[in-house]
Every structure is written in structure tokens, then in C-alpha cells.
Amino acid sequence: MSDEVAVVNFSGGAGSYVAAKRAIERWGGDKVTLLFCDTKTEDADLYRFLDDCERVLPARLVRIADGRDIWELFRDVRYLGNTRVAPCSTILKRELGDKWGDDNHPDAVQVFGIDLGEAHRAKRLEKKLGDKCWFPLFDAPRLDKAGQIAEIEADGIKPPRLYGLGAPHNNCGGGCVKAGMAHWRWLYHALPCTYAEWERNEQELRDYLGKDISILRDRTGGEVKPLTLAEFRARIESNVPTLWDEEWGGCGCFLDG
């Protein structure tokens, strides 16, 4: 019998759930660890979903955290995460997970719940990890998000609530520094209190660092300049269109390095 073990990068999203199931089918539950790195900026329902997964999936779920939320981290590193650089992903997810893996299962196969729409990220991971990574959603049956959610429901688990609100992922409470304007416009309408919290935290960090910085960028007229969440909210409320209103961006924790 093979001594090979696997660590599933378990984000609390639908893709990582399906990836975990397929890893368990391949190796057996006793050879699979589900690793959740907590940013402390998550939607409360994500933890309910983790509890349900732990109840249903026959594999060990390990929860680890740096201890800081993303805003505390941005203060410490004196940098606001954005679509270009995301220290939250680097430090609170990737480096934390890598250290846990090095300390506990240095030879494990790393399993990622990304699909063919993120093949470019898989290539970077393959370059880094070689044959010690696997992307089960690349294999048949290839499920889109609706199919992944249907599989969760078929297993008797209530899907994370953010999906029902139209969120593309279940990370950072519905927000993400790598999200585009379409995502932020969705967040403003779907979760106005969450949008207001991110807006407030962004302004507090601007004041703390004394810099004209922002998560979003305004590229109108070919000139790139900061676009704060407060300014973007004013555009939404005034129904001011932008050239980038259909740009969703994307959460890439564990995948950008």
C-alpha cells in the first residue's frame, strides 16, 4: 500500500469541497488532511459550513490561523492589498499553509479546488510543486459552480450562504482585495454592511499610512489613479457607468506564487 498522503487546500468554498471528496476517493480518508487557513475575515456561515464538512467527510480537518485579520496584517506590513499585490493571500494563506505542510507533511501531494477556468494558476503551481500537486476538478466529471453546489446539497450539506447571494467565492466575507468593480458593485447591493465595513477599514488604513492608496484603480482616460471604495460607492449611487463595470477579478489565495 502506498504511503503517499494528500493535503487539500480547503478554503471553505464549493470547489475545495469537491476536490476534497475526490482526494478521499483516491487516497482514503485516513491519508487525506483538509487544511483550512483562517484569515479571520470570513463570513460567519463559512465556519458552519466547515463544521458540516467535518461531520460528513471522512478526513481530518485542520484549522490554523496567523491570528491577525487582513486589516491588522495590512497595518503591520504597511501596505494595502490590491489587485496587483495581496499580502493577505501571501502571508495568511500561502506562507502559513506552506509552513504547516513543511512541519507536518513535507512530502504530501497538494490538492487544489481550482477548475479549468484557472488553468493559468495551475501551471504556476505545477512549476513550483512538480508532480506533488493535483487538480481534481480538471478531471471528469467537470463541474461548474452550480454543479459543485449541487454536489454539496446532494451530500446533505447546506451550501455557504454567500453563493445564494450571488458571490463568486466564499472567502473574506464576500470581499476580496483582488476583486474587480463588478464584484464590489455586487457586494454593495448584496451585503451593504460588509461593503461599509471594508470602506471604513480602507479609509482608516489610508489615514494611518498617510497615503493616497486604494484597493481599486480608476483607469478612465488611460490614466491610472486610486479609486477608494467611498468614491466607488458614490458612483454606484449616482448610476455613473465605468469602462470596467464587468470586471470581476478573482480571489487567488494559495494560487499566486
| Mean pLDDT per 10-residue interval, the chain, length 257 residues | 87 96 98 98 98 98 98 98 94 97 96 88 89 95 95 98 95 94 94 98 98 92 91 91 64 46
Q: Does some domain include residue 222?
A: no
For position 14, what pLDDT does the model report? 96
Q: Does some domain include residue 96?
A: yes
Number of domains making up the chain: 1
Q: Does some domain include residue 88?
A: yes
Q: Does some domain include residue 131?
A: yes
Q: Does some domain include residue 171?
A: no
For position 158, what pLDDT does the model report? 98
Q: Does some domain include residue 38?
A: yes
Q: Cβ atoms within 10 A of the Cβ of 5, count?
A: 17
Range of the domain at 150: 6-161
Q: What is the CATH number of the domain that holds 134?
A: 3.40.50.620
For position 121, what pLDDT does the model report? 83
For position 95, what pLDDT does the model report? 97
For position 250, what pLDDT does the model report? 63
For position 170, what pLDDT does the model report? 94
